[in-house]
Amino acid sequence: MCLAIPGKVKQINGRQVLVEYPMEERTVLNGDEVVRIGDYVLVQMGIILKKIPETEAKKSWDAWKKLS
Domain ranges of the chain: 7-67
Q: What digits encode the pLDDT tens for the residues 31-47?
A: 888 999 999 999 999 99
CB 28 within 8 A of CB 19: yes
Q: What is the pLDDT of residue 2?
A: 64
Q: What digits encode the pLDDT tens for the residues 54-68?
A: 999 989 888 877 776
Chain centre distance of CA 43: 5
Question: Whole-number mean pLDDT of the chain?
Answer: 90
Q: Is the pTM of this model over 0.75?
A: yes
Name the 3-class secondary structure at 40: strand
How far is it, in rounded angstroms, from Cα 25 to Cα 19? 6
Instruction: Look up the CATH architecture of domain 7-67.
Output: Roll (2.30)
